[in-house]
Structure 1
Amino acid sequence: MDWQFNGLPLHILFIHVVVVLVPLAALAATMTAVWPAARRRIGIVAPILALAALVMVPITVEAGEWLAQRVAATPLLGTHMDLARILLPWAIALFALTTIQWGWHRFVATPDARWSGLLRSAVTRTAITTVISVLVVLVSLAATVAVVAIGESGTRAVWLNSFS
């Protein structure tokens, strides 16, 4: 595929979408993990944001690989490309855990949930809720750190020593 629009590489546009969506999905997921009022208000929005981020990550990587074949190879570009490959597993984990968290609270965890009778023990429900919440927060943090590291390395690859 030709990853350009009007003569400009689409990777540059797509990275902005990823840089916004991944941390935004991570923030929404973290808020729903630790703040019940936010969970009720945000609801399905957190998994939808995580899904949008998940869709955009491989598209952005593909567009970046296309662009890398058209610019001079440098060690900084190599570092950026290596780091970029670690984001997809984090995006998958963020989407999966955000969806699990939403489904857990929507269908099981609360007393008035559709399948709340599956787990009668409040202790078990609390333990599962805690484990899911901790995993969501950790994956959200890791995904956001990955985006920052990838973005910083990409910025260095493009701009370091290239202007006066």
Structure 2
Amino acid sequence: MFEEFAGLPAHPLVLHAAVVFVPLLALLTVGYAFVPPIRPHTRWVLGLLAVGAPVAALLAKLSGDAFFDRMRSANRVTPEFLPKLEAHQEFGDNTLWASIGLAIVALALVWFVAPRAGGNTDAGAAGTTVGVRHGRALTVALQVLSLVAAGIAVYYVIRTGDSGAKAVWEGQ
């Protein structure tokens, strides 16, 4: 299902969405956490990225797994090269989990940290009060989590991309 797109391997095409969306989610999450004036303008974008970035990482992982299985079943992977591809695959798995963790932190920021300095009491879709201040301690905790989660997610995107690029350029 995730193996080809228009006759081309899907993985090299799909992975670019994850390479863009996960670091963008990291940047916007930290910005939302630490720069209150941007919150009203970026709230919905952050929420959408929090959903889209892990989906992009999942699609990159699934297409990469399909590509790897196809290459291995066609005997196009030598036994000496297999550990490099498996390491790349493991980094990809970690990138997926890191992007999910970052997305959870981003959604918590959107839900619990007021987009305006005085708090926003607009009723949400479920009738709950969205954006109400939940205390300085929660905000600080989410700020720290945003830095940690963003750093981990960007680290794994870079490691995954580097190991994949080296695998492509070093060949079998």
TM-score by length of 1: 0.86
Post-superposition Cα deviations, 1:60-94, rounded to whole Å, max 9, x if no partner, equal 11110110122215221111011111122211111
1:159 counterpart residue number: 169
Secondary structure at 2:70 match in 1? coil
The equivalent residue for 2:4 is 4
> What's the C-alpha RMSD, in Å, of the aligned pairs?
2.2
1:161 shift after superposition: 5.7
1:152 offset after TM fit, Å? 0.2
Q: Count how many residue pairs are aligned between Structure 1 and Structure 2.
A: 156
| 1:97, distance to aligned residue in structure 2 (A) | 0.9
Question: Who is 1:28 aligned against?
Answer: 28
Partner of 1:102: 110
Residue equivalent to 2:142: 132
- Paired residue type of 1:37: P
**TM-score normalised over the length of structure 2:** 0.82
One-letter code of the match for 1:130?
V
2:2 and 2:10 in contact (8 A); partners too = no
Q: What is the letter of the counterpart of residue 161 of structure 2?
A: G
Matches within 5 A, 1:25-64: 25-64=25-64
> Does the aligned pair in 2 maintain the 1:9–1:67 contact within 8 Å?
yes
Would you say the 8 A contact 2:61–2:96 is kept in 1?
no
**Separation in structure 2 between the aligned mates of residue 135 and residue 84 of structure 1, nearest angstrom:** 22
**Alpha-carbon deviation of 1:37?**
1.0
Give the aligned residue type for 1:88. Answer: L
3-state SS of the aligned residue for 1:23? helix
Unaligned runs of 5+ in 1: none
- Matched residue type, 2:107: T
- Give ranges in structure 2 of 5+ residues lacking alignment: 72-76, 122-128
Which stretch has the larger CA shift, 152-161 or 141-150?
Answer: 152-161
Which segments of structure 1 move beyond 6 Å, counting only runs of 4 or more? none
Q: Please point out which of 78, 86, 96 is paired with 2:94.
A: 86
Work out the CA distance in 2 between the residues paired with 1:70 and 1:3.
8
Percent identity, aligned pairs only, is 28
Report the Cα offset of residue 144 of structure 1: 0.7
After superposition, the Cα gap between the structure-2 partners of 1:70 and 1:112, relative to the gap in structure 1 and judged at 3 Å, is: closer
